Amino acid sequence: MKVNVLRLDHRRVRDARITTHVCLTSRAFGASKVILSGDEDKKIMENISDVVKRWGGDFEIDYVKKWDKFIDNWKNNGGEVVHLTMYGEPVQEVTNKIRESPRDKLVVVGGSRVPSKVYQEADWNVSVTNQPHSEVAALSIFLHTLFEGKEYDIDFNDSELKVIPTAHGKRVITRKKTV
């Protein structure tokens, strides 16, 4: 099962930091790709591509103008849609069902206002608490629950930089990237 993330309604001026964090979290927690909708933001796309180059992995970032057509195509090609919302079914109660299906997943992370079509088209509307909070927090908790903590063991062997865990201080090694 491949997991992609669709970031709805990115606003270049207002959302650069949060959208960057959605991308970084998606990559670190095991998603294969982020698709941005809303404003096309080449700067974020270049920054995330640079992170992948330096820190490794097969992660991709792309842009779609029409998110609704993208969701329709995703579903028509056999994929399933998971919408993260505070109004959905509790993550702890529904994730096993989501994981049981081997079909690829598109995790939809909202923007300023999520259109009702997203709720209707989603195979699952999933909540990480029923309280207002960050979409980045919801995404990380959902991916952690979906992958059952296995994302901790992702090996980014093809990285130029690698953090060596230490109790104190910082230790980063630079290595020649293999092609």
Query: What is the C-alpha to C-alpha distance for residues 111 and 135, in angstroms, rounded to an integer?
Result: 9
The reported pTM is 0.95
- State the pLDDT at residue 45: 97
Residue 160, CA distances (Å) to 44, 45, 172, 173 in order: 20, 19, 10, 8
Helix (H, G, I), strand (E, B) or coil at 114: coil
- State the pLDDT at residue 166: 95
Query: Nearest 5 degrees, angle CA 6-CA 10-CA 14?
Result: 150
- State the pLDDT at residue 80: 98
Question: Considering only CA atoms, which of 1, 17, 26 is closest in space to residue 108?
Answer: 26
- State the pLDDT at residue 67: 96
Two tokens, residue 132:
């207002």
Return the sign of the alpha-carbon dihedral for residues 156, 62, 13, 7: negative
Two tokens, residue 95:
């994730």
Query: What is the C-alpha to C-alpha distance for residues 31 and 46, in angstroms, rounded to an integer?
Result: 18
Query: What is the C-alpha to C-alpha distance for residues 73 and 113, in angstroms, rounded to an integer?
Result: 22
- State the pLDDT at residue 178: 57
Query: For every one of its 179 residues, what pLDDT tens digit does the chain have, with 9 covering 90 and above?
Result: 999 999 999 999 899 999 999 999 999 999 999 999 999 999 999 999 999 999 999 999 999 999 999 999 999 999 999 999 999 999 999 999 999 999 999 999 987 789 999 999 999 999 999 999 999 999 999 999 999 999 999 988 789 999 999 999 999 999 876 55
- State the pLDDT at residue 175: 84
Query: What is the C-alpha to C-alpha distance for residues 179 and 177, in angstroms, rounded to an integer?
Result: 7
b/e map 122-157, b = 16+ CB within 10 Å? bbbbbbbeeeeeebbebbbbbbbbbbeeeeeeeeee
Domains and CATH numbers, the chain: 3-149 (3.40.1280.10)
- State the pLDDT at residue 157: 79
- State the pLDDT at residue 158: 87
